[in-house]
């Protein structure tokens, strides 16, 4: 785990309030796995002790990409950082996605900004496993497909792909999914993840899910990020230390 000030290469505005931060950090890029996150101090003025967590979106050579939308003050400051400034990073943190294992098709399932960790997952799996990507959003502007492969979409308003949610889209593709040896990788809003958990349990699909919560320290000290466990020996797990990636069956969503 490093604490460092990494030079900001640029901020890229993708579309509709979605930003990519490109940061130069060989220390982080040589030590990070898909699904891990960085805790960023966005400004000394804004609650200086509080950092903001972001999944690593992608890694290209010595550059890290983070993807975010402007939600509050922290993300607004990040989106407007000038080139040449530095980004105060604590990380890499948490447990990422386990991409090894006995599957031949990775099924990526994301809703909205839940797509953020999957360009890096896709990059790591490309050429090694088949990839099917299912993306949902309220409307077509909420469907983020940056650096993803083999995409099928669902939107609540029907403006792109299936009219419905991403789990309904999975239901439509159940024959295809059952014909493959799959492992699911998911991230998205709570309602989506609840429906996905039910779908995976019903159909006996193995699913790793990246969870989110409001965090403080980011590495297991403050106990501020509990998630209820479904395991008998543990009542709570910590999202930052035990996760953010869990087997979907092991946590209450």
Ligand X SMILES: Cc1cc2nc3c(=O)[nH]c(=O)nc-3n(C[C@H](O)[C@H](O)[C@H](O)COP(=O)(O)OP(=O)(O)OC[C@H]3O[C@@H](n4cnc5c(N)ncnc54)[C@H](O)[C@@H]3O)c2cc1C
Residues that bind ligand X (CB under 6 A): 37, 52-55, 67-69, 71-75, 113, 116, 212-215, 244
Phi, psi of 86 (to 5 degrees): -115, 155
Our CB check for ligand X shows the closer of 105 and 136 to be: 136
Out of 221, 228, 231, 249, name the contact with ligand FES by CB under 6 A.
Answer: 221
Residue 171 contact partner, candidates ligand X, ligand FES, none, CB within 5 to 8 A by sort of partner: none
> Please, are residues 70 and 64 in contact by the beta-carbon 8 Å criterion?
no
> Please, are residues 253 and 209 in contact by the beta-carbon 8 Å criterion?
yes
Helix (H), strand (E) at residue 238: strand 236-238
Closest approach, Cβ 93 to ligand FES, in A, equals 9
Torsion angle of alpha carbons 15, 133, 199, 172, nearest 10°?
Answer: 100
Residue 71 contact partner, candidates ligand X, ligand FES, none, CB within 5 to 8 A by sort of partner: ligand X
Q: Is 240 in the site for ligand FES (CB under 6 A)?
A: yes
- Residues whose CB is less than 8 angstroms from the CB of residue 126 and which lie 6 or more positions away in sequence, other chains included: 149
Q: Is 74 in the site for ligand FES (CB under 6 A)?
A: no
What is the spatial distance between Cα 252 and Cα 231, in angstroms, rounded to a whole number?
Answer: 10
Residue 222 contact partner, candidates ligand X, ligand FES, none, CB within 5 to 8 A by sort of partner: ligand FES
Neighbours of 252 (CB within 10 A): 11
Our CB check for ligand FES shows the closer of 18 and 215 to be: 215
Closest approach, Cβ 1 to ligand X, in A, equals 15
Q: Is 215 in the site for ligand FES (CB under 6 A)?
A: yes
Closest approach, Cβ 13 to ligand X, in A, equals 14
Our CB check for ligand FES shows the closer of 115 and 215 to be: 215
Phi, psi of 135 (to 5 degrees): -120, 135
Q: Is 38 in the site for ligand FES (CB under 6 A)?
A: no
Q: Is 245 in the site for ligand FES (CB under 6 A)?
A: no
> Please, are residues 66 and 47 in contact by the beta-carbon 8 Å criterion?
no
Beta pairing, strands 18-24 & 37-41: unpaired
| Residues of the shown chain interacting with ligand FES in the complex, contacts defined by CB under 6 A | 215-218, 220-225, 238, 240
């Amino acid at each position: 785990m490093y604490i460092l000030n990494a030079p900001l290469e640029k901020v890229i505005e993708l579309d509709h309030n979605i930003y990519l931060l490109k940061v130069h950090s060989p220390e982080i890029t040589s030590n990070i796995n898909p699904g891990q996150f960085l805790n960023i101090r966005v400004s000394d003025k804004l609650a200086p002790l509080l950092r903001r967590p972001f999944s690593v979106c992608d890694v290209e050579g010595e550059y890290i990409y983070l993807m975010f939308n402007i939600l509050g003050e922290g993300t607004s400051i990040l989106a407007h950082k000038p080139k040449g400034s530095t980004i105060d990073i604590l990380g890499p943190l948490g447990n990422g996605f386990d991409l090894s294992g006995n599957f031949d098709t990775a099924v990526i399932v994301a809703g909205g900004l839940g797509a953020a960790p999957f360009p890096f997952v896709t990059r790591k799996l490309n050429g090694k496993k088949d990839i099917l990507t299912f993306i949902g959003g309220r409307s077509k502007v909420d469907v983020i497909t940056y650096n993803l492969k083999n995409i099928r979409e669902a939107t609540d308003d029907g403006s792109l792909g299936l009219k419905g949610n991403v789990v309904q889209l999975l239901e439509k593709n159940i024959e295809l999914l059952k014909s493959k040896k799959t492992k699911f990788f998911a991230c998205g809003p709570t309602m989506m993840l609840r429906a996905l958990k039910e779908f995976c349990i019903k159909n006996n699909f193995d699913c790793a899910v990246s969870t989110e919560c409001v965090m403080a320290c980011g590495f297991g000290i403050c106990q501020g990020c509990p998630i209820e466990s479904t395991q008998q020996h543990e009542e709570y797990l910590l999202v930052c230390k035990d996760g953010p990636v869990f087997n979907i069956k092991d946590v209450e969503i």
